[in-house]
Structure formats: structure tokens, C-alpha cells
Amino acid sequence: MTSTLVTGGAGFIGAHLVQELLTKGQYVRVLDNFSTGKRERLDAFGNQIEVIEGDIRSQQSVREAVAGVDAVLHQAAMPSVPRSVEDPITSNDVNVGGTLNVLNAAREAGVRRVVNASSCSVYGASETIPKTEDMAPEPISPYAVTKLTGEHYCHVFSYLYGLETVSLRYFNVFGPGMDPSSNYAAFISLFVEGMIAGRPLTINGDGSIMRDFTYVQNIVDANMRALQAEGVSGQVFNVGCGENSTLNEVVSVLKELIDTDSVISHGPERTGDVKRSRADVSKACEMLGYKPRVTMREGLERTVLWFKGD
């Protein structure tokens, strides 16, 4: 039986990956310190998974977690651009130091492949769209710097030590299981939950910011393909839908789906926010066999139903 470690498996994306791996009949181990991940996300899996409570900053915890596994889906991180702006030191310690620990422990343990969760934030201030993997990164937040550094470490471990690595640049992931109560809640979860409750809501900026909002099942599919694809070690891939929408357009769709007249106002822009983003996913399509199967609108419909409990 194939065994896979999911770091950050109690997180939003991590829990979806755990579910998919179980569906495929794999043995699944989770490493999480539950600082942002939620235990209840793992409760549904019962004794089907092994859970190690530990921090990726701890070499001992990481070595214990990687022992005997075939592959690692590395999702654990200190998320959020705003959080990194407030606390760049912790963001670096977790996202850079923690990733280095995972890679080094995986190398020592003879793990076959590490799939690393990166971010479209590495493209930063560039106005060019769509974003292609050969563009020069222009990070404008500490979070983006940490994710870019993680990519570089993955490439180096592939080049120097022969550890197979793949980095996936996620584009604005959303879907069921997102936590709207966090101070750093993603835009869609915050607005879906708020609209259902009928609360007034505030958009950061004038709403013209454009994003490639990507339903979580597309991210899961890319990870599964990145685990198996041949000839891709050391590579970086965009994972998105290849489309983009403004925040105002998303709000309009959500109003229609939820049938709400929630009052929407506009506030100041967030420091470190990128203005325009859209993925070119042709490399992932060609080399991983990836194809975005769930459109943004369909993803919004599924997300609304989940938040409503339907």
C-alpha cells in the first residue's frame, strides 16, 4: 500500500487531500500543529489516518513524520499575505525553515517525492497576465518571498540530492471547509458566510482586483497528478483555472446564488495585495495532464451549498 504524509493535513486544502488519498486506498499520515488547522476536519476520517501533532519547525517531529512514507504533500505553512506583513519573522521561520526541514528529512528517509504547495503570490507586482512559470518573480510580501524560497530549495534538493520535488503555484483557492471566522479568512469564504447571515460586508479597495479563483478540487487533482507524473522533478507549475474575475464580479455572482441584498461597502486596499492575476496552466496541462475540471461559478455554487448545509 502506498503511504503519503500530508503536512498541514488539518488545514483547508490539506483535509481535502487526505480525503482524496483515502479514496485512492492509500495509507495517510498527517503532521499538523493545529495552529491554523482544525482537529474537526480530521475527525471525519476516524482511525483511517495516523495523526502526528507536531511542528514543521521541529526536526524531530518532521523526521518522525516522514519515516517510512513514499511521498509527501507539503501543505503546512503560515498562511496569509497580511499575516506575513504583520509578522515576517514567524512567516519565514515556518515557511522557509519548516520547508527546509521537510526536504532534508525526506532526503534522509529516502522519500520518493515531495510535492510542495507554493503560491501565485510569487509573481507579485508584475502587471503581465496570464502568469507563466518562466516569468521573473516580483514578490511584494514576506509571504511571497517565503514561498519563492521554498521553490528554490525544492529545486536545489532535486538537483543536488536527487530528491524528486514538484512545486505547485496555487491560484486563490476556495471551496467547502474554508474558515470564515479567521482574521485572515479568504475573500470568498468570508463573503459567502456573511451574505448567508445577511451581514454588511466590506471589500478591500474598489473591487477591481482580478483573481484566478480556483476551486479546491482542481488543486487536489493537480497534487495527485504531481505525485505520479514522470520527468517533472525540480519543476514549478501553475495551478488555476486560466480565467480571472474581479472581486466585484464574484460578489455579483454570490448575491445571485444566495439571493441576498447584503450591503457591500468598500474600504482601503490591503498592503501587499496583487492587482491582477490569472494563471497560464498550459505547462501543467502538458506535463502533468492537469485540466481544471470545475469552473469558478460551479465552485461557487458548491461552496454556497456547503455553507448552507445543503
Considering 143, 153, 215, 290, which one is annotated as catalytic?
143
Q: Angle CA(213)–CA(258)–CA(173) in degrees, nearest 5? A: 15
Phi, psi of 117 (to 5 degrees): -80, 110
How far, in Å, CA of 300 to CA of 295, rounded?
A: 9
User: How many other β-carbons are positioned within 10 Å of the β-carbon of residue 205?
Assistant: 14
Cβ pair 48, 22 in contact under 8 A: yes
How far, in Å, CA of 81 to CA of 61, rounded?
A: 26
- Cell reading at 90: 514567524
How far, in Å, CA of 89 to CA of 273, rounded?
A: 19
Per the annotation, the verdict on 143 as an active-site residue is yes
- Cell reading at 293: 475540471
Q: Which positions are annotated as active-site residues?
A: 143
